[in-house]
Structure 1
Amino acid sequence: MLLRPRQKLFVERSARALDEHQNTLGVAPTGAGKTIMLSATTSEVIGGTQAKACVLAHRDELTDQNRTKFGRVAPLLTTSVVDSKTKSWDGQVTFAMVQTLARQANLDTMPIIDLLVIDEAHHAAADSYRRIIDRALHCNPMCRIYGVTATPNRGDRKGLRPIFSNVADQIRIGELVAAGHLVPPRTFVIDVGVQEDLAKVSCSGDDFDMAEVSRVMNTVPVNEAVIRHWQAKAGERQTVVFCSTVEHARGVTAAFESAGIRTIMVTGEMPDGERKAALADYADGKAQVVINVAVLTEGWDHPPTSCVVLLRPSSYKSTMIQMVGRGLRTVNPEEHPGVIKTDCIVLDFGTSSIMHGSLEQDIDLNGSEGNGEAPTKECPECGAVVPLGVTECPLCGHVWERAASDPGTPVTEFLMTEIDLLKRSSFRWCDLFGDDAALVASGFNAWGGVFFLNGRWYGVGGLARGTPHLLAIGDRTVCLAAADDWLNQNETDESAHKSRRWLNQPPTDKQLALLPVEFRQDLGLTRYQASALLAFRFNRQAIRTLVFDASTDTSARAA
């Protein structure tokens, strides 16, 4: 498979930082493809050598997911697993559960490791991780430590500086939105008469006193006002709500249910089986709203969710980004038929957006990707080397001051420019009929296309032999990103480079024989354009069926 251009840059910067510093942290949000980049970096560092690597994860499903994706990115490297059931170091890359490996008896069997990779690296300051890191460095002082995370700033203010001296790269949410890999958030800050009281709430430890927040927020008038604003702005959307305490969650749940909204509540106090069953009901559409208290902040995604309600403030911007991120994933129409998602409504009834600036204000889209080293600066508090655009140090939490925004400016739009995927893609996209309504790119094994019908775009992908798949519905950028990813997953460097000489050669006689007469008379037609046209012609009926069926389904739902 191929990496996106931005993923390639992330890997290059990570490998360069490991060479220079022997350790580094990479920061990338949901949707960036952290596991793909983690795998590619590992392959880049130890591929073609006898070096051994260990990839740490803190949950069984992450270990399995990482190993599966690693096999697609680096199929030539052998792998093994250390978890509660299996304890094998036979592979060149071993995927290990932290809870298992951190036990002394298992640590004693760990061989010399040349590269230790930490997924969800914001956990790396925990004692169990430190035992593994210390053991790896004790056995091999030259062992490189590589961490990847979406949210490096820990809630306990326990910095990552003792482990990582620098940040190799940081992909921002705005980049992924502009590239079509996430939907844009539309943020509304709503005062239901409590912001003055919320501003007076004291801190308990490092965060706000949530019991005080609950006393301010959990009243019948406030909860009823929340329901009214939600119904006005997002009443048709699947919604996740973040509350301050369990008692607050119960009050909000009761308010939604009183309004006739199908609602579930999940908390950390619930047994695992009960919580999973509740979330399954939400995923199946049996509930429209899920209320939670610090349970769904990390590691949970249901892509059709297109509204996030913040009923609690957060002293950490990283926590706010985590909560909002639950609603930014794009939707695969084959997994969720009839669901159209073009944005995410964020209703902030607290003070997080005011305190931290809206999510989008922290995004700098002015600079280009570049091809060299990332511009950096030094954190004045911990001395870490971090990317220039960072506003909060990923290693110690230091915040760089920025100019105060105008308090009268509404936080409702995501100001950004679309990234031109046609130029950035590794593939050459052909405008089939010159009207920008049907674009196709093809490789040796697969083809991808985006098609416009009745005000919406549809992304479709297929293999040389097989039934086409509907990949995305909605905005042009999202559909292009989905189709381009389809090609990346099914092609290699040999078929992707759009600058290859053969692409511009005249069509072959066989191609001309298969094309309609009007195309045979086009003296400017290239071999690659002919390939794209034939991919469309051979799959035209299947494409029409997919697009028209999806258009009919979504129109019926809208009605």
Structure 2
Amino acid sequence: MLRLRPYQRASLDALADDWARGGRSGLVVLPTGAGKSLVIAALIRETLERAPGARVAVVTHSRELIAQNHAELLALWPGAPAGIVSAGLRRRDEDAQVVFCGIQTVWNRLDRLGHLDLVVVDEAHLIPRSADTRYGRFLDAARAASPDLKLVGLTATPYRLDSGRLDEGAGRVFDRIVHEAQVGDLIRDGYLSLLVSKATATVLDVSGVPRRGGDYVPGALEAAVNRDAVTRAAVAEMVAYGAGRRAWLAFCAGVAHAAAVRDAVRAEGYSCEAVSGETPPAERDRVIRAFREGRLRCLTSVGVLATGFNVPGTDLIALLRPTESTGLYVQQVGRGLRRAPGKADCLVLDYAGLVRRHGPVDALSANAVARALKLGGEAPRAKPCPGCGALIALNASTCEACWTEPEADPDAAAPHAAEADDSRILSAAAAPAGWRTVEGWRLAAEPAGGATALGVTFVVAGGHRIRLGLEQTGYPREKAVAWWRRLGGGDPPPMSVAEALERQDELVRPEALRVAPSGRLSETVELRLPDGAVWRDTSRVG
């Protein structure tokens, strides 16, 4: 039987406790990549185990999420009495006990669905505050038909720029947040990928762009940032940083801007496609499949991939769309949080100044964002490290990436800096203590489980050794290749230990190393490389 991760189990337990106290409308906040689909599946199964006759609807906005959530339930429970109601997927299984629905299809068709006991809304931050909307009308009708209806919302971003938390204020849909898992905690525990953020030399200028409805006016924004010289400079940086990375995702300011970035990437010699709301569904599916399978290096997007996009291998995100929306910023960055074999971290290139404006992503809890919104949210809350360019908290005394000590920032005492300081900067949250200087290293062939592995012995206080299974297949090989590349080894990776030893001059010795247990049978190893980058890897031991 599938065993949920501790934070997933905790979210369902918190929801059950809220129901036991009479709650009927609770929010569960889980970061992107934390497994919301699995939590939804487990919630449905446990609900029907307690009440075999209950009817459940899972409602969201995109056909990709509908199909993903439906597939997750069938993977957990192959015999689940589940169907799909979605015009986009051309299915109307309205009589199923559990229905996965598109809000565009069901908002005015509740009579076809009948009585519901539980409604789950995925990406709940997309529910408008006004009751006179599709979500509002659907939920009002569902409650009128079923006075005891329970409502559960799941989201990574339980707030909006213009109206604060989803569980506060007039017209709120949810009563309270019953559980919130923190990005920094899940990175530290090895469930999510480490994020590395860099300030870029190219900066998009939006000083003259007007605002409307809490964000920049789209046409004016695109006109400001879609400039050929700026695009070419930004893409040149992206290519330089991304040469050793395999899946780049660029968020752009409009359809023409996404096409311009795509063309600039292609001009640099890399495969790239653009997708937007105007892209036909079949074409969008084809492009995303090619990106997921590694046949496409870069994907540029406007308006369609900030939510519901699931490609774990994404290891570079280019933020080329300035936004005042903290929620959109977190959703975009969240596309890089999923872990994947061979993926060491995800690099975020911030051309739009979003990390400075909104703060480190692991500091953006619901409470922190709500407080910042009440204060007006204009002052920057992060700054680039003068040593390596990594974006760090305004009040940080040391950069966790390269250990440079920035000069004191005269704005560090501003109200917004104080708000951002309530939580830890991402790198501090994700990293154990105890760096040890690497004085030297030795590479040699070593026996490992009846095979030969590349043994790497680091000369540090207390010693440390790893074995790279370059001659193995599957995950051990992927793991070894990830280590090879992060230590500076070129492509193609060696197929044998003997070849690796012949090519060991390609490798760059780390400057420092630190190790910490991350569970009873695993440990986290971090290497600080000469260029200031830090690589973090969690592996089984023993």
Q: Structures share a fold, TM > 0.5?
A: yes
Q: Give the aligned partner of residue 137 of structure 1.
A: 143
Where is the strand percentage greater, Structure 1 or Structure 2?
2
Give the Å deviation of 1:15: 1.6
Q: Give the aligned partner of residue 416 of structure 1.
A: 428
* 1:351 paired to 2:349: no
Q: Deviations over 1:403-458 (max 9, x none)?
A: 975746451644235599xxxxxxxxxxxxxxxx999xxxxxxxxxxx99657678
Contact 2:360 2:382 in 1 (8 A): no
Q: 1:164 to 1:398 in 2, by over 3 A?
A: farther
CA RMSD of aligned residues (A): 4.2
Q: Map 1:208-247 onto structure 2 (within 5 A).
A: 208-237=216-245, 238-247=247-256
Which residues of structure 2 form unaligned runs of 5+?
393-400, 402-425, 433-446, 457-464, 484-493, 508-542
Counterparts of 2:454 and 2:137, CA distance in 1: 55
Contact 1:458 1:470 in 2 (8 A): no
Give the Å deviation of 1:62: 3.6
Contact 2:197 2:348 in 1 (8 A): yes
Q: 1:99 to 1:232 in 2, by over 3 A?
A: closer
Counterparts of 2:315 and 2:136, CA distance in 1: 38
Deviates more, 1:203-212 or 1:25-34: 203-212
Which residue, 148, 152, 173 being the options, matches 1:163?
173
Counterparts of 2:348 and 2:27, CA distance in 1: 29
Contact 1:214 1:244 in 2 (8 A): yes
Contact 1:11 1:41 in 2 (8 A): yes
**Percent identical residues:** 25
Give the Å deviation of 1:240: 1.2
Which residue, 97, 103, 113 being the options, matches 1:98?
103
Which residue, 232, 253, 259 being the options, matches 2:262?
253
Which residues of structure 1 form unaligned runs of 5+?
333-339, 364-388, 421-436, 440-450, 460-467, 479-547
> Which amino acid counterpart does residue 390 of structure 1 have in structure 2?
N
* 1:202 paired to 2:177: no
Contact 1:47 1:77 in 2 (8 A): no
Give the Å deviation of 1:33: 1.2
Secondary structure of 2:264's match? helix
Contact 1:456 1:473 in 2 (8 A): no
Which residue, 116, 119, 138 being the options, matches 2:119?
116
Counterparts of 2:384 and 2:105, CA distance in 1: 53
Q: Deviations over 1:266-315 (max 9, x none)?
A: 23223333333333443444432222222222222322221111112111
Give the Å deviation of 1:342: 0.3
Contact 1:262 1:289 in 2 (8 A): yes
* 1:188 paired to 2:198: yes
Q: Give the aligned partner of residue 297 of structure 1.
A: 306
Q: Give the aligned partner of residue 51 of structure 2.
A: 49
Contact 1:25 1:169 in 2 (8 A): yes
> Which amino acid counterpart does residue 391 of structure 2 have in structure 1?
V
Structure number with greater CO (CA < 8 Å, separation at least 6) is 1
If the length of structure 2 is used for normalisation, what is the TM-score? 0.65
Counterparts of 1:327 and 1:268, CA distance in 2: 21
Contact 1:189 1:347 in 2 (8 A): yes
Contact 2:355 2:382 in 1 (8 A): no
Give the Å deviation of 1:146: 1.0
Counterparts of 1:453 and 1:246, CA distance in 2: 49
Counterparts of 1:474 and 1:208, CA distance in 2: 43
Counterparts of 1:256 and 1:98, CA distance in 2: 36
Counterparts of 2:220 and 2:149, CA distance in 1: 47
Counterparts of 1:218 and 1:398, CA distance in 2: 32
> Which amino acid counterpart does residue 93 of structure 2 have in structure 1?
K
If the length of structure 1 is used for normalisation, what is the TM-score? 0.63
> Which amino acid counterpart does residue 17 of structure 2 have in structure 1?
R
Q: Deviations over 1:451-507 (max 9, x none)?
A: 996576789xxxxxxxx96389559xx9xxxxxxxxxxxxxxxxxxxxxxxxxxxxx
Contact 1:178 1:416 in 2 (8 A): no
Give the Å deviation of 1:166: 0.7
Q: 1:48 to 1:288 in 2, by over 3 A?
A: closer
> Which amino acid counterpart does residue 294 of structure 1 have in structure 2?
G
Give the Å deviation of 1:550: 9.7
Q: Deviations over 1:99-142 (max 9, x none)?
A: 443333xx224443222222222233383332332222112212
Q: 1:95 to 1:157 in 2, by over 3 A?
A: same
Q: Deviations over 1:4-42 (max 9, x none)?
A: 111111111122223332110111122211122223334
Q: 1:101 to 1:551 in 2, by over 3 A?
A: farther
Give the Å deviation of 1:356: 0.6
Counterparts of 2:331 and 2:118, CA distance in 1: 28
Contact 1:29 1:172 in 2 (8 A): yes
Contact 1:187 1:345 in 2 (8 A): yes
Q: Deviations over 1:208-264 (max 9, x none)?
A: 134443344333332232133223322232311112122323332333233333322
Contact 2:357 2:378 in 1 (8 A): no
